[in-house]
A and B are shown apart, each in its own frame.
Chain A
Amino acid sequence: GAGVSQSPSNKVTEKGKDVELRCDPISGHTALYWYRQSLGQGLEFLIYFQGNSAPDKSGLPSDRFSAERTGGSVSTLTIQRTQQEDSAVYLCASSSPGQGGTEAFFGQGTRLTVV
């Protein structure tokens, strides 16, 4: 596709349920990032995938959070046993191979509300 696509755009879930958020990066982009944007918290790094390398999971806030990237393309962020503090906008970004100066392209995000 032309840009980074995320689905769903909005998700309301009950506390304790599991949710899956999907990200379809720009074709050819080997790097993929997940960020969380909470009200008043700015952009919080969650996880980073680069090609076939082991992902950098250093930003995942708890073991309820996990992510995978299949075939080096689509990524799924899973939150198990959701809590109200998980409510946020989850942003996915991708960037092309190359030097660190290449910019990341962001999707429009998934707004997650845990009730």
Chain B
Amino acid sequence: AQSVTQLGSHVSVSEGALVLLRCNYSSSVPPYLFWYVQYPNQGLQLLLKYTTGATLVKGINGFEAEFKKSETSFHLTKPSAHMSDAAEYFCAARPGSARQLTFGSGTQLTVLP
């Protein structure tokens, strides 16, 4: 069964610092991969996704993620954190057949002034 692991339930960075949120998936066949962001009392909003092709994916709000098959990873990065980036981030995977998404447990990002 597909599983998604997010290392670090809470990450704190200073404003302007690099953001790195880690995600690993378990699958012998690389699934489709997604990062979602959830602001307080809101639904989930898609940041970016990897399907096929280029392994470095750019998303909204300056975020990007790199798919590394050899490491079964899909880490999310942003070069310079902004206060508005404070939110919870979820990594998700879906196998090649169009079925349910499997989510990681989420990482709460705090941005310190």
- A residues contacting B by CB (< 8 A) are 4, 31, 33, 35, 42-43, 45, 48, 50, 56, 59, 91, 93, 95, 98-109
Contact = CB atoms under 8 A, between A and B. Distances in A.
A31 B100 CA distance: 9
Interface string B73-104: 00000000000000000100011111111111
B100 A33 contact: yes
Interface residues of B, number: 27
Nearest to A10: B41
| Majority DSSP secondary structure for residues of B touching A | loop
Contacts, number: 61
A31 B97 CA distance: 13
Interface of B: 31-32, 34, 36, 41-46, 49, 51-52, 90, 94-106
B43 A101 contact: no
B100 A48 contact: yes
